[in-house]
Amino acid sequence: MRAVVQRVVKSSVAVIDERVQNKREERIVGEIQGGLCILLGVGVGDTEEDAQWLADKIANLRIFEDDDGKMNRSLLETGGGALVVSQFTLYGDCRKGRRPSFVEAAPAEEGNRLYEYFVTRMKLHGIDTECGVFQTHMRVEILNDGPVTLILDTHKER
């Protein structure tokens, strides 16, 4: 699994529905005030163990400032929220040609299952967790704080 984790002041995700009376309509489905925006990709061969490891890692990452201004506090310690947005394009391979290949991304059914499992693991930590809608066109607003942006990959991290 791959995750782009951003420390945010606020973040939201809206679903784009173009079928509503031939108009483009946006509907906010998830929103947090302070915490982490997590763009999550699921790859071929990823498991529940990967999702659990990643959720535990992110929940405990010490990337929030303490009273001395040092990154020394975790999401669990700050009480911030998590906005989790599925993003299969994190598995886009751009090494050949001009169009990314997504053969390393998990099939939709398995990707959704592991995405939901990851969200459940975040909630089990007691983190207020909001979500996008899997396999839909979304707009994500991110007000990055710091900026702090980290990339985690379960197959490179262990």
Active site residues: 89
Nearest-angstrom CA–CA distance, 108 and 97: 24
Two structure tokens written together for 85: 């947005």
CB 85 within 8 A of CB 134: no
Angle between the 108-124 and 48-60 helix axes, to the nearest 10 degrees?
40
Q: What are phi and psi of 83, to 5 degrees?
A: -110, 115
Residue 135 backbone class (left: φ over 0; alpha: ψ -120 to 50; beta: rest): left
> Comparing C-alpha atoms, which of 74, 72, 71, 42 is closest to residue 60?
74
CA distance readout (Å), 84 to 30, 48, 95: 9, 17, 27
